[in-house]
Amino acid sequence: MKEDTIAAISTPMGEGGIGIIRISGEESFNIAKKLFYPKSKISFEEMKPRTMYLGNIYDDLEKYVVDEVLMVKFKAPNSYTAEDMVEIHSHGGFTAVRKILNLVLRNGARLAQPGEFTKRAFINGRIDLSQAEAVIDIIRAKTDKALKVAVDQLKGKISEKIKEIMDSLLSVIALVEANIDFPEEEIPEASPDIILKNISYNIERLNYLKEKAGAGKILREGISTVIVGKPNVGKSSLLNSLLMEKRAIVTEIPGTTRDVIEEYINVKGIPIKIIDTAGIRDTKDPVEKIGVERAMEKVEGAELVLFVVDASGELEEEDYKIMENIKEKRLLIIFNKIDLGQKIDEKKVKEHLPGKRVVKISALRDEGIELLREEIYELIVNEVGSLEEGIIITAQRHIEAINKAIESLKEAKITVENNLPMEISAIYIREAWEYLGEITGDSVKEDILDAIFENFCIGK
C-alpha cells in the first residue's frame, strides 16, 4: 500500500532564528520541486541528497516569493524515516513556516500526526520501538543525566540487551521443538537441566535490568517534591533559594501563598519537580482554604516531602497535625530561620518523625541549601540505587513487559521441575519472548503503537 506523504513544522512555534518544515513520503520530491527555486538554477534532480541549497519558496498561485530558504533532500532509505524526505529551513517566527507548510499541503501532502515521522522510522525498520521511544525522552530530558540515558536508549543499548535475552530464549525453544519434531535424529538433547539453566540465567538477567528501573523512572519523570508546613515558616523562601530566583511571593504575612507553584530543579542530575504550597492551617478565608486543600492533595501524591518548620520558635499544634499526616512519606525535616537561633525542641520533632533526617537552613540567607541538595540526593540514591553505571530502563511500559516475561519464565521453570512435557515449557518460554518483543517492537499491537506515538510532538 502506498503511504501518504506527510508534512509538518518540526520547530517550535514562536520567534526564533530558523524554522524547519519536514516532508516525508513518495511525493516529497515532486512537491518540493514545485515550490523551490534554487539560486544556482540547477534542476531538482541535479541537487545532491543531504546537501543544502539556497533558494526561494515561491507561491505558484499567488505569484510571490514567500521566503528565502535552505532546502535539503534525503533519498530513501537514507533519511530519518527511511523514505524520501525534504527539509525546508526557512526563517523562524509564525508566518513564514506556516505559509510554507500550507503550500506543501496544498500540493499534495497531508499534515503529519504527532510522532508520525518517528513511527515511520520504526515501521520502515530503521530503528526499533525502544529507540523510537527514546526520541521523545531526549526531547523531554530535564537534566544532562536524563539526556544521557535517553541517548543510550536511542543508540540501541536497551534493545541490544533485550534482544540477547530473546535470542537466548529462542534457542531453547528451537532445541525443544527439534527434539519433538525429530526425536530420532542426531541433535543435542533438550534435557530438563539445559532448559532450567537457560531459564534461570535469563530470569537473572531480567532481574538485573529491573534493579535499575527505579532510578530510570526518576531520571525520566523526576521526583515530585512538596514543600509543606505552617504559614510563614519560609516555604516560598526555600523554593526561591532552591531555584536561585524570586519565583514565589514572600511576605511576612502568614497565608501569602495560595496557589500551588511548580518548578523543576536539577539536583546532581536528578530532575526534582518542586512544589510550593499554601501554609497549612485552619482558616475561614475561602481562598486560603482552597489553597490548604490543594496543599494536602499535593502532599498525598508527593514522592518526597520537605517539611519546613520555623526553628526559631516552638512547635505548635499545626506542626503536630502536619507531622501526623506526613510521617509515612519519604521526607526531610527542614529547620528554617536558623539564623535567628534554634529554639525548637529537636528531640520532640524526631520523636514524631522517627528515622527522618533534619537539615538546618536559612532560606533568607541562602545558608544550608547546598547541604539540603546533598541530603535530597542521598535520600533518593539510597533507595533507588546508583544513577551512574549500567543499563537503565526508564519506561514504565518496559518494566511491565519485563515483569510479565519474568512471570512466564517462572511458570516455565515450574513445568520443567514437575516433569511436564517439554512443549508446555516451550509455550511459556515463547510467551516470555513475546512480552520482551513488546519492548523492541518485534511483537507489538497496533493500539500500543498508537498510544506511544500519540504522546509525541507534531513534526517529530
Ligand X SMILES: Nc1nc2c(c(=O)[nH]1)N(C=O)[C@@H](CNc1ccc(C(=O)N[C@@H](CCC(=O)O)C(=O)O)cc1)CN2
Ligand Y SMILES: Nc1nc2c(ncn2[C@@H]2O[C@H](COP(=O)(O)OP(=O)(O)OP(=O)(O)O)[C@@H](O)[C@H]2O)c(=O)[nH]1
Residue ranges in contact with Mg ion by CB under 5 A: 235-236, 256-257
Phi, psi of 88 (to 5 degrees): -110, 120
Q: Does 406 help bind ligand Y (rule: CB under 6 A)?
A: no
- Residue at grid coordinates 532448559: 195
Q: Does 385 help bind ligand Y (rule: CB under 6 A)?
A: no
Among 119, 126, 163, 413, binds ligand X (CB under 6 A): 126
Q: Does 298 help bind ligand X (rule: CB under 6 A)?
A: no
Q: Does 95 help bind ligand X (rule: CB under 6 A)?
A: no
Q: H/E element holding 382?
A: helix 369-384
Q: How far is the CB of 12 from ligand X (least distance, A)?
A: 14
Beta-carbon contacts of 160 under 8 Å, excluding residues fewer than 6 positions away, are none
Q: How far is the CB of 327 from ligand Y (least distance, A)?
A: 20
Q: H/E element holding 405?
A: helix 396-417
Beta-carbon contacts of 244 under 8 Å, excluding residues fewer than 6 positions away, are none
Q: Which of residues 58-77 bind ligand X (CB under 6 A)?
A: 74, 77
Q: How far is the CB of 126 from ligand X (least distance, A)?
A: 5
Instruction: Enter the DSSP assignment of 340.
Output: G
Q: Is 276 labeled as ligand-binding?
A: yes
Q: Does 274 help bind ligand Y (rule: CB under 6 A)?
A: no
Strands 53-59 and 270-276: unpaired
Choice between 251 and 455, CB closer to Mg ion: 251
Strands 331-336 and 304-310: parallel
Q: What is the three-state SS of 148-173?
A: HHHHHHHCCHHHHHHHHHHHHHHHHH
Over the window 206 to 245, marking each residue x when it contacts ligand Y by CB under 6 A and - when it does not, the resulting string is -----------------------x-xxxxxxx--------
**Which residue has the CB atom at the shortest distance from ligand Y?**
279
Amino acid identity, position 124: N
- Count of residues in contact with ligand X, rule CB under 6 A: 8
Q: Does 251 help bind ligand Y (rule: CB under 6 A)?
A: yes
Choice between 19 and 368, CB closer to ligand X: 19
Q: Does 313 help bind ligand Y (rule: CB under 6 A)?
A: no
Choice between 153 and 236, CB closer to Mg ion: 236
Burial letters for 97-126: b for 16+ Cβ neighbours within 10 Å, e otherwise? bebbbebbbebbbeebebbbbbbbbbeeeb
Amino acid identity, position 373: R
Q: Does 415 help bind ligand X (rule: CB under 6 A)?
A: no
Other C-beta atoms closer than 10 Å to the C-beta of 139 total 12
Q: Is 438 labeled as ligand-binding?
A: no
Q: Is 237 labeled as ligand-binding?
A: yes
Q: Is 217 labeled as ligand-binding?
A: no
Asked if 234 contacts 308 with a C-beta cutoff of 8 angstroms, the reply is yes
Other C-beta atoms closer than 10 Å to the C-beta of 380 total 23
Q: Does 368 help bind ligand Y (rule: CB under 6 A)?
A: no
Alpha carbon distance 284, 242 (integer Å) = 31
Q: Which residues bind ligand Y (CB under 6 A)?
A: 229, 231-237, 250-252, 254-257, 278-279, 336-337, 339-340, 362-364
What is the binding site for ligand X (CB under 6 A)?
Answer: 20, 74, 77-80, 87, 126
Binding residues for GTP, as ranges, are 232-237, 251-257, 276-279
